Amino acid sequence: MKLNIKLYYKYFFILSLVWITIDGVFRKWLLPNLSSQLFIVKYLLFSISYFLLLLQNHKFKSTKSTYQILILSLSFWCFFQIINNPYNAPLLVLVFGIITYLFFIPLTFSIPKIFTSLTSFERFTNYIAYLSIPIFAIGIMQYYLPVDHALNYLVNADQLANKVGGFTRSLSIFTFVKIYDVYLIFCLTLFISYIYYLSYIGKSIKFISVLLGFGVINLIMTGSRLQVFQLGFNAIIISFFVYFKIPQLRKHILILLLFSSLLAIIFYNTSTTVQESTDAFTNRVEQTEKVGESGKAGYTAKDRVYDRVNIFAFSDYSGWLGLGIGTTYQGTGNFLKDKIPEIYYEEEGERIVLELGIVGGIIMILLRLSIFLYALNVLLKMKHIKYIIFSIPFVLYLFPPIFFLTNVTFNYFDGFAYWLSFSLLLALEKSYINTILSTK
C-alpha cells in the first residue's frame, strides 16, 4: 500500500505542476465562463499531493535552520491575522489570504522526494523546454494580432490597453503579463545554465540555444523592462560564475558569448520580427522614461525600482499588526464588510505590509534573506561541477525577492516559482550529499 501511495503522490504532483502552468488555456479560451472555478483547481491538486505525501511520511525532522524558524514565525503571524481583523473580513477572505502566503511552502518537503538525481533534473529541464515550444510560438503570434483577437483574450477586461508600441504585449497561455514574465525568467535562466551543463557533458546545445533565443524574443515582446534587465543580469552572473569557478568551460563561454553576439546582430538586421520587437521595446523604455522625467511619478525605471523596494510606504495605514490578511487581493474587496482606506497600492511589498503590518514585513524580509543565504551557502560548498551548474539559476531566482518581496498576493505563479526554486535547490543539496556519501 505504501508503494501505491508513493506512486499516486508522484502522479498527482506531476499533474499539479502541469496544471498550474497550463490552466490559463482553460480559463482564457476553453472554459472562460468557469474562470473563477478553474482558478481553484491548482490548489485542490496540490492539496491532494500534499495529503498523499503526509500519508507516506508521518515523521517530520526537527527545525534546525534559520529559514525554518522564520517559516514557522510567518505561519504563526498569518494565522494570528484571523484574530487581527479590523475590517471584519469574512473567513473566506482570511483563509484565502493564508493560502496565498503559505500554500506552496510544503514544496520544500515534497520536491526533494521526487528529484533525487541529476537525471531527474535533466528530465525536468527537458520537459520545460518542450512545453515552452508552443508557449513561445503563441506568444509571438499574439504580438502581431489585435488586442481584441480571440487569441489575446484576457480574463480581466480592464487590461484591453495591453500594448507595447503598436503591438500587443505577449502573455501567451497565461492570464496576465506578470505571470508570463515569471515563467520566462524562471525558464530562460534555467536554459542559460543548462547550455553550460550540456557543454560540460559533451551534448548538443543547438535545440536549447534556439529555444533560448525564441524565449528572449518573447520576453522582449512582453514589454517588461525590469524583467529584461533581470534576465541580462542573470546571464552575466551565470557566465562569470562558471568562467571563474569552472576552468574547463572558459573556452566554451568565450565562444558562446562571441557566437551569440554575432547571431543577435545578424538576426536584428535580417529578421523583421527581431527588429520590430526590439525597436518597440526600446521605444517603450525611452518613452516611459520621458513621461517619468516630465514629472509623472512611477514611470521611470528608478521610480519603479524604488516603489518595489519601499515596502513600508503605507506603514502609517497598516501599523504594526496590519489591516488583515487577504484584504488587498484584487478578488476579495467585494467581500469586506468595511472598506479599507482608498490608497493607491500596486507593488507586492506594499500589499504585504498593508495586510501583515510592519511586523509581517520584517518577518518576510528576514525569511527571504535567510533563504537566499542558505541557498548561496549550499552553492559555494558544492564541489561537483554538474551540481554547481544546475544550482546557479535557482540561487539567482532567490536573490531579487529579498528586496522586492515579489508578487505573493497578486501573482500566485510568482509565489509558486519562488518556493519551487528553493525546493529544487534543497533537492540538489540532498542529492549532492547522497552522492558524496556513496563515494566514500
Q: Give the pLDDT confidence of 115-170 residue by residue, as tens digits.
A: 989 999 999 999 999 999 999 999 999 999 888 788 887 655 555 556 777 788 89
Regions in the chain scoring below 70 on pLDDT: 1-6, 57-63, 154-162, 291-304, 306-307, 330-346, 405-410, 440
365 in Cβ contact with 371 (< 8 Å): no
Residue 381: its pLDDT value, please?
Answer: 93
Q: 168: which strand partners? A: 163
152 in Cβ contact with 162 (< 8 Å): yes
- Which residue is associated with the grid cell 552572473? 237
pTM of the model: 0.92
Return the closest-CA partner of residue 103 out of 416, 336, 317: 416
Residue 334: its pLDDT value, please?
Answer: 64
For residues 410 and 420, give the distance between their C-alpha atoms in angstroms, rounded to a whole number.
18
Q: Where exactly are the structural domains of the chain? A: 1-59, 60-439
Query: DSSP of 259-308, one letter per residue?
Result: HHHHHHHHHHHH-HHHHHHHHHHHHHHHHHHHHHHTT-TT-SHHHHHHHH
Residue 432: its pLDDT value, please?
Answer: 95
Q: 163: which strand partners? A: 168
86 in Cβ contact with 323 (< 8 Å): yes
The x, y and z cell numbers of residue 392, run together, are 546557479
Q: Identify the burial level of 381 via C-beta atoms within 10 angstroms of its C-beta, where 0-12 means exposed, 13-18 middle and 19 or more buried.
A: exposed
Q: At what angle do helices 206-222 and 118-143 cross, to 10 degrees?
A: 50
